[in-house]
Amino acid sequence: MKLSIVLSTQQAQFNAVAFKGDLAANVAKIAHWGYDGVELAIRDPKLIDLDQIDAIVKKHGLVMPAIGTGQAWGEEGLSFPDPDPQIRDAAIERVKSHIPVAAHFDAVIIIGLLRGIVKPGVSQAQALAWVTEALQECSAAAAPHGVRLALEPINRYETSLINSVADGLDLIERVGADNFGLLLDTFHMNIEDASIEGSIRAAGDRIFHFHVADSNRWYPGAGHIDFRSLLDALFATGYNGYVSGEFMPLPDADTAAQEAIRYLRGLKQEE
């Protein structure tokens, strides 16, 4: 099992990110604890030094399997279904600006909260149409570069658009692009989906990336999700990507990261 963990390149409001701040020091710690990869949350590619990040990640023998984009929503309010066309365009352009970074690292571009919410005065159908058109445009721009996009079904308390894996699979049908798939997150599936294993089987080879947190969004092993069962289901689909830790920094970020890898590697040993 290839394990990675979410890191932010900028300070952000979203707190289910185990690490923020000094990238070099954090990447060094992550590698030392035995992780294989680091998933970076990047608000705006214009604000990062790609060469510097590349050097830091490679120095420690890590890879970057995925790029999180949700801070553009959290910090700047960009989203695909905003009633303001300029904001919709800016959201699309922001996703497109991640394509060179994703191509460089062979990373998946995550569409999490950037898909937005249904704003007052906008119908659910209109919002879904804007999201679909935006994803068609972004997927078409990414395809020639061999880059894939992964939409993350997110629980109802964070968005009113695409909550369950079934919603995500419906969107895949609407978008109709081979390089558009899903990011499954155990925390969200535990809230929205009748069966986590059933959803994993249904998504099959459209699972492009995978987030793990326990039921309480602490590190895996701190709640009541059956990780042995769901990881068996995940790998039975032929999934060959990263299992990426995205959980609260509790009781503190270092302890959470170390407990997560101890627990997940322990599961594998018992297989």
Active site residue ranges: 152, 246
Q: Residue 211 interacts with ligand LER (CB under 6 A)?
A: yes
Q: Residue 246 interacts with ligand LER (CB under 6 A)?
A: yes
Query: Which 8-state DSSP code applies to residue 75?
Result: T
Q: Residue 153 interacts with ligand LER (CB under 6 A)?
A: no
**105 within 8 A of 68, measured Cβ to Cβ:** no
User: Residue 168: which of ligand LER, Mn ion, none does it interact with, CB under 5 to 8 A by kind?
Assistant: none
User: Residue 192: which of Mn ion, ligand LER, none does it interact with, CB under 5 to 8 A by kind?
Assistant: none
Q: Residue 112 interacts with ligand LER (CB under 6 A)?
A: yes
Give the nearest residue (CB) to ligand LER: 112
- By CB under 6 A, name the one of 101, 113, 131, 253 that touches ligand LER: 113
Tell me the per-residue interface mask from 52 to 81 with ligand LER, x by CB under 6 A, - otherwise. ------------------x-----------
SS3 41: strand
Q: Is the peptide bond before 144 cis (omega within 30 degrees of 0)?
A: no
Given the rule CB under 6 A, which of 83-91, 96-104, 151-159, 195-203 is the region that contacts ligand LER? Answer: 151-159
Return d(Cα 40, Cα 66) in angstroms, integer: 7
- By CB under 6 A, name the one of 158, 197, 232, 254 that touches ligand LER: 158
Using alpha carbons, select from 224, 221, 228, 154 the residue that is nearest to residue 185. 154
Q: Residue 152 interacts with ligand LER (CB under 6 A)?
A: yes
Return d(Cα 17, Cα 42) in angstroms, integer: 12
Cβ within 8 Å of residue 32, ≥6 positions away: none
Q: Which residues bind Mn ion (CB under 5 A)?
A: 185, 211, 246
Between residues 36 and 185, which has the closer beta carbon with respect to Mn ion? 185
Cβ within 8 Å of residue 244, ≥6 positions away: 3, 4, 5, 6, 37, 39, 65, 66, 209, 210, 211, 212
Contact footprint for ligand LER (CB under 6 A): 14, 16, 70, 112-113, 152, 154, 158, 185, 211, 246
